[in-house]
Chains A and B, each alone.
Chain A
Amino acid sequence: DAGITQSPRHKVTETGTPVTLRCHQTENHRYMYWYRQDPGHGLRLIHYSYGVKDTDKGEVSDGYSVSRSKTEDFLLTLESATSSQTSVYFCAISDPESSYEQYFGPGTRLTVT
């Protein structure tokens, strides 16, 4: 299995509070991604990174920001959490030099009350 972890695995927070989710990889893969999974919507891309300090928006980036200061870490921040951001968040990594496939982390279940 690819070495990819997410923390925390579960979090309950209140509306309006900031939240940061962390993705950590030990594979030295260049690309990292943040997705959210919601019933009826599948996996939707929030942001992705193609290198240290190189990030770009996905299809559902509003209300989210990211940072990547090291190859191994990709942080997702909800500046002011809303109930619509209650979801399961998955981090993924890929190594385009070798294959197209992505490796996913175990997910973070976030509940905003």
Chain B
Amino acid sequence: DQQVKQNSPSLSVQEGRISILNCDYTNSMFDYFLWYKKYPAEGPTFLISISSIKDKNEDGRFTVFLNKSAKHLSLHIVPSQPGDSAVYFCAAESGGSYIPTFGRGTSLIVHP
């Protein structure tokens, strides 16, 4: 069973608009959440994270929102740029395990 789900395999957005990538989780023990970005033929790179004691974390154009009651988090990219086109992975960890569980990824395409 998937404990971290990214139900949208792909997302297409116009340059300058907002991109919203969603992630749902089932394990209530998860208390730290991360987003990674992956370009083709490269390894994933860390993008932004959030602890379960917060409901929002912002870093430039990237904001992550956490809704613990719904077990849902989302990554907002505003404004979207063509260089944001990549696969985005959501990951979750619990209790200082340092072993993240990854979702299957969402492929974002930003059209010029």
Q: Which residues of A contact B (CB under 8 A)?
A: 31, 35, 40-45, 48, 50, 58, 90, 92, 94, 96, 100-107
Q: Which residues of B contact A (CB under 8 A)?
A: 6, 32, 34, 36, 41-46, 49, 89, 93, 96, 98-100, 102-105
Contact, CB under 8 Å: A48 / B104: no
- The verdict on A100 contacting B102 (CB below 8 Å), with A42-B89, A106-B43, A107-B42 known, is no
Chain A residue numbers with a CB within 8 Å of B43 are 90, 92, 104-107
Contact, CB under 8 Å: A43 / B89: yes
With both chains docked as a complex, state the minimum distance between the C-beta of B87 and any C-beta of chain A, in angstroms.
9
Q: How many angstroms from the CA of A103 to the CA of B103 in the assembled complex?
A: 17
With both chains docked as a complex, state the minimum distance between the C-beta of A112 and any C-beta of chain B, in angstroms.
20
Contact, CB under 8 Å: A40 / B104: yes
Shortest 6 CB-CB distances between A and B: which pairs? A104-B43, A42-B104, A101-B46, A43-B102, A96-B98, A104-B44
- The verdict on A103 contacting B42 (CB below 8 Å), with A31-B98, A48-B99, A96-B96 known, is no
Contact, CB under 8 Å: B32 / A100: yes
State the total of A-B contacts with C-beta under 8 angstroms. Answer: 50
With both chains docked as a complex, state the minimum distance between the C-beta of B41 and any C-beta of chain A, in angstroms.
7
Chain B residue numbers with a CB within 8 Å of A40 are 104
Question: Considering only CB atoms, which chain A residue lies closest to B87 in the complex?
Answer: A42
Q: How many angstroms from the CA of A94 to the CA of B36 in the assembled complex?
A: 14
With both chains docked as a complex, state the minimum distance between the C-beta of A100 and any C-beta of chain B, in angstroms.
5
Q: How many angstroms from the CA of A107 to the CA of B87 in the assembled complex?
A: 15
Q: Is the interface of B mostly helix, strand, loop or mixed?
A: loop
Question: Considering only CB atoms, which chain B residue lies closest to A109 in the complex?
Answer: B41
Chain A residue numbers with a CB within 8 Å of B105 are 42-43
Q: How many angstroms from the CA of A106 to the CA of B104 in the assembled complex?
A: 19
Chain B residue numbers with a CB within 8 Å of A100 are 32, 34, 49, 93, 98, 100
**B45 partner, pick from A31, A42, A104, beta carbons under 8 A:** A104
Task: Enumerate 26 A-B pairs (CB-CB under 8 Å) in ascending A order.
Answer: A31-B98, A35-B102, A41-B104, A42-B6, A42-B104, A43-B44, A43-B102, A43-B105, A50-B98, A90-B44, A92-B43, A94-B98, A96-B96, A100-B93, A100-B98, A100-B100, A101-B46, A101-B49, A102-B44, A102-B100, A103-B46, A104-B44, A106-B41, A106-B43, A107-B42, A107-B43
